[in-house]
Amino acid sequence: SARKAYRASIIHSIGDPAEVGVEASYEYFEDGLLVVTDGRVESVGDAGVLLANLPAGTEVTEYPDALLMPGFVDTHIHYPQTGMIASYGEQLLDWLNNYTFPAENAFSDPAHAAEVAEVFLTELLRNGTTTALVFGTVHKGSVDAFFSAAEQRNLRMIAGKVLMDRNAPEYLTDTAESGYRDSRELIERWHGKGRLHYAVTPRFAPTSTDEQLAAAGQLLQEYEGLYMHTHLSENRDEVEWVKSLFPQCSGYLDVYDHYNLLSERSVFAHGIHLCDDECKRLSETGSAIAFCPTSNLFLGSGLFNLPKMEQHKVRVGLGTDVGAGTSFSILQTLNEAYKVMQLQGAKLSPFKSLYLATLGGARALRLEDRIGSFASGNEADFVVLDYNATPLMQYRMAQAKTLDERLFVLMMLGDDRTVRETFAAGESVHRRD
């Protein structure tokens, strides 16, 4: 039949520890069972109880020494930057000009785009990430290639074509008119098809004219359920540049606000140098921020203030931001998030980390009714993490007795080697040898 069951230690986040307290933020089953029917979660609970009620003949897969949890959600990543990850020496604006724009130029070739899309999705799944909000390049073919590859693997993915009509090399720019037209074409072709969604994607304020930002706002008006995905307040020179380009606006966020780009489906990467009024505006519009610690450290951009976002009740997800980010692994991203908090005299608990990596990311993307937890009826996107992934982790785990200790060690020492298997819509999409 279409019913399958998976037996392991199972954990899932069911609330934000900052809102409901740690104890009410998760469910944990030491000897747990996840029952999946037709690609959806039927039930989760204690194996002893659920096994007794399973129809005879149901296939049960057992994972000893493993922790099964919802697939990771990456709320900000650039698939075209897969091949230029780890490029040396620059901060944001020089990094874009010296490395990023030349690498993105190659995506005018659809065959190149198709090849990178495969490498990228394979890498996401190797790392246990089952949903991501993804930048393409300015070329509409880059987004066709990405969505085709994601559709073949039946993944829940959000992506969009970059809008960029100034302050970039000529070979990488569109116009307000062509960007609008190409976006419409892609929306008609892909938005709502299977598990795919479209995000209107102005790169960031400095590379769009007023006309283009207005066109982005118009697209959001014209179609239901579109996302808006861009960068915000990442680097101090960038913030000053935006102020000089848009002197009539009160600040960086106000530029996007002016063109009606703030909504419940808006996701802004970074948001490091924001004032209280900007946090308040993000909160009241239901917008989300993608916290990208490996990128923020790699480019020397600054330290993201998560407690401030919690105070203002701004939705936050985690982003790897590859290729400015240095890892596809959400576990490695949590490792660096922890250190970013430490440098500010704050803590990041393992349960808050679990939340950010799964349900928090799903909430930032307004997908919490489909993914991010094992609520019954949710799509069965999940990962099996191996407590014995490496000799060091095995040795360390032997000393780690409590759940919060074991979770924390997974997050500090874990990476792609930790991911034993990844499932999307109930099907295995990656198995480590």
Q: Which spans of this chain sit near ligand GUN (rule: CB under 6 A)?
A: 78, 92, 96, 100, 203-204, 231, 234, 295, 321, 324
Q: Is the peptide bond before 21 cis (omega within 30 degrees of 0)?
A: no
- Residue 399: CB minimum distance to ligand GUN, A: 38
- Whether 106 and 392 have beta carbons less than 8 Å apart is answered as no
Nearest to Fe ion of 74, 174 (CB atom): 74
Q: CB under 5 to 8 A by kind: which of Fe ion, ligand GUN, none does 234 bind?
A: ligand GUN
Q: Please name the amino acid found at residue 278.
A: E
Nearest to ligand GUN of 187, 242 (CB atom): 242
Token readout for 377 is 């009826």
Nearest to ligand GUN of 17, 319 (CB atom): 319
Give me the residue whose beta carbon is nearest to ligand GUN.
Answer: 324
Nearest to ligand GUN of 101, 423 (CB atom): 101
- Residue 273: CB minimum distance to ligand GUN, A: 13
Nearest to ligand GUN of 182, 234 (CB atom): 234
- Residue 299: CB minimum distance to ligand GUN, A: 6
- Residue 427: CB minimum distance to Fe ion, A: 30
Nearest to ligand GUN of 235, 418 (CB atom): 235
- Whether 336 and 132 have beta carbons less than 8 Å apart is answered as no
- Residue 201: CB minimum distance to ligand GUN, A: 10
The tally of CA atoms less than 13 A away on the side-chain side of residue 77 is 32
Nearest to ligand GUN of 117, 134 (CB atom): 134
CA distance 231 to 261: 12
Q: Please name the amino acid found at residue 392.
A: L
Nearest to ligand GUN of 5, 164 (CB atom): 164
Q: CB under 5 to 8 A by kind: which of ligand GUN, Fe ion, none does 134 bind?
A: none
- Residue 101: CB minimum distance to Fe ion, A: 13
Among 16, 321, 379, 416, binds Fe ion (CB under 5 A): 321
Nearest to Fe ion of 269, 380 (CB atom): 269
Give me the residue whose beta carbon is nearest to Fe ion.
Answer: 321
The beta strand positions in 55-111, using DSSP E, are: 59-70, 72-78
74 touching Fe ion, by CB under 5 A? no
Going by their DSSP bridges, the two strands 288-291 and 196-202 should be labelled as unpaired
Helix axes 403-413, 330-342, angle to 10 degrees: 100
Nearest to ligand GUN of 9, 100 (CB atom): 100
Token readout for 290 is 């993608």
Whose CA is closest to 228, among 144, 295, 285, 304? Answer: 285
- Residue 72: CB minimum distance to Fe ion, A: 17
The pattern of x and - marking residues 243 through 282 that bind Fe ion according to CB under 5 A reads: --------------------------x-------------
- Residue 231: CB minimum distance to ligand GUN, A: 4
- Residue 206: CB minimum distance to ligand GUN, A: 8
Q: CB under 5 to 8 A by kind: which of ligand GUN, Fe ion, none does 100 bind?
A: ligand GUN
Piece in contact with Fe ion (CB under 5 A), picked from 95-103, 209-217, 248-256, 315-323 = 315-323
Q: Which long-range contacts (CB under 8 A, 24 or more apart) does 209-215 make?
A: 209/165, 209/166, 209/176, 210/259, 211/165, 211/176, 212/163, 212/165, 212/175, 212/176, 212/179, 212/180, 213/255, 213/256, 213/258, 213/259, 213/261, 214/176, 214/259, 215/163, 215/176, 215/177, 215/179, 215/180
Which residues are CB-contacts of 178 (< 8 A; sequence separation ≥ 6)? none
Whose CA is closest to 252, among 266, 264, 263, 237? Answer: 237
Q: CB under 5 to 8 A by kind: which of ligand GUN, Fe ion, none does 203 bind?
A: ligand GUN
Phi, psi dihedral angles at 170 (to 5 degrees): -55, -40
Enumerate residues 119-158 that contact Fe ion by CB under 5 A. none
Whose CA is closest to 349, among 358, 364, 337? Answer: 337
Q: CB under 5 to 8 A by kind: which of Fe ion, ligand GUN, none does 117 bind?
A: none
> Which residues form the interface with Fe ion (CB under 5 A)?
269, 321
